Amino acid sequence: MEHIITIEGGAAFAVSTEEDSLLRGALRAGIGMPHECSVGGCGACRFDLVSGDMETLWAEAPGLSERDRKRGKRLACQSRPRGDCTIRIRCADEYTPAVAPRRGLARLEGRRQLTPDMSEFSLRTAWPAAFLPGQYALLYPPGTEGARAYSMSNLPNADGLWQFVIRRVSGGRGSNALFDRLGVGDEVAIDSPYGNACLRDTPAREIVRIAGGSGLAPMLSIARAALARPDAPPVRFFDGARTAADLCGESLLGDCPPPHRLSYTPVLSMPDASPGWRGAVGFVHEEVKRALPQPLDRYEFYFAGPPPMIDAVQTMLMHKHGVPFQQIHFDRFF
């Protein structure tokens, strides 16, 4: 069974009644529907329902402001068609998935503790792990409402191996369910890949990666992919963490070939908790500004992490150093 969705003044497409959201159905149909987080946090997928019946999945999703709600706006990632509908939204080619997302079950093959609250999860699907470095998957943690986004930390492969670096969030329902209720051998629903902050073909510019906390995962995948290109310029990797015990980027990058093309700078925001630390301290974006030879518009920037870090890096690059928006690529971890 399918519902036909018509975009006012644009294309019409079919969404299976099995789909859990309008956004996922549209992207699977090859429609360039705007999105960023896929989980109700960013508001990039706002649309107007012109006619038809649409279920709202998460009424309190922070991606809509009170003003948006009063104006009748909806989020495509938190809406599910109940019949044929007409919607108003501006789609763009840049959002058309380069790799069509695929849904199914993945088996947990192994879990490796990296820091006191971060572990590497290795999942296996029966189909190839097709994605662009920097993209994320949606996992459906057992007993939890809604999907959670987790970025792949490995490289695409034909063996169906999907690796993630996941932080256990204090009080968080989804992350705790993955740590406590998903055992080795268990299956979890996966829908992947999503996201636009992936590695671009810009070999001429030096590449800077900035990771905050669990923002490490997509930065690892991008760094691994960039270093595997024989003609790629050097990669500078800034890894922001609270204490030395929270750092694991350098060991995870250890398997990357030619180490001379990679410089790794750990930065601690709570150095007092790490006696004997002699490395960089403060917020990671401050160290980026201090350590990088200027001007900053000669680099291609990729960063991922909590929203305050993303905002700080974006403001520093765009407003204070005039880095063009096309040279910055990021994922906010809502």
Ligand X SMILES: Cc1cc2nc3c(=O)[nH]c(=O)nc-3n(C[C@H](O)[C@H](O)[C@H](O)COP(=O)(O)OP(=O)(O)OC[C@H]3O[C@@H](n4cnc5c(N)ncnc54)[C@H](O)[C@@H]3O)c2cc1C
Query: Given the rule CB under 6 A, which residues bind ligand X?
Result: 37, 39-41, 58, 136, 145-146, 148-151, 164-167, 169, 172-176, 195, 214, 217, 331, 333-334
Rounded to a whole number of angstroms, the minimum distance from the CB of residue 127 to ligand FES is 24
Q: CA–CA separation, 210 vs 271, rounded Å? A: 19
Taking the least distance from each CB to ligand X, the nearer of 283 and 334 is 334
* Sole window of 38-46, 212-220, 234-242, 296-304 interacting with ligand FES (rule: CB under 6 A): 38-46
Do residues 23 and 45 make contact, with C-beta atoms less than 8 angstroms apart?
A: yes
Taking the least distance from each CB to ligand FES, the nearer of 38 and 151 is 38
Rounded to a whole number of angstroms, the minimum distance from the CB of residue 307 to ligand FES is 12
CB atoms within 10 A of CB 250: 13
Number of residues that bind ligand FES (CB under 6 A): 13
* Alpha helices (H) along the chain: 22-28, 66-70, 173-181, 216-228, 249-252, 284-291, 307-314
Task: Rule CB under 6 A: choose which of 22, 27, 31, 45 binds ligand FES.
Answer: 45
Rounded to a whole number of angstroms, the minimum distance from the CB of residue 37 to ligand FES is 4
Q: Is 195 in the site for ligand FES (CB under 6 A)?
A: no
Q: Is 75 in the site for ligand FES (CB under 6 A)?
A: yes
Rounded to a whole number of angstroms, the minimum distance from the CB of residue 211 to ligand X is 10
Taking the least distance from each CB to ligand FES, the nearer of 22 and 152 is 22
- Rama region for 52: left / alpha / beta (φ>0; ψ in -120 to 50; rest): left
Taking the least distance from each CB to ligand X, the nearer of 77 and 256 is 77
Q: Is 43 in the site for ligand FES (CB under 6 A)?
A: yes
Site for ligand FES in 260-279 (CB under 6 A): none
- From residue 267, how far is each of 48, 52, 241, 263, 282 by CA, in Å? 43, 51, 6, 13, 7
User: Among ligand X, ligand FES, none, what binds residue 63 when CB lies within 5 to 8 Å by partner kind?
Assistant: ligand FES
Taking the least distance from each CB to ligand FES, the nearer of 77 and 138 is 77
Of residues 219, 20, 209, 180, the one with CA closest to residue 103: 20
Q: Enumerate long-range contacts of 254-263, CB under 8 Å, 24 or more apart.
A: 256/223, 256/224, 256/227, 256/228, 257/227, 257/228, 258/227, 261/227, 261/232, 261/233, 261/234, 261/235, 262/223, 262/227, 262/234, 262/235, 262/236, 262/237, 263/234, 263/235, 263/236, 263/237
Q: Which residues bind ligand FES (CB under 6 A)?
A: 35-38, 40-45, 63, 75, 77
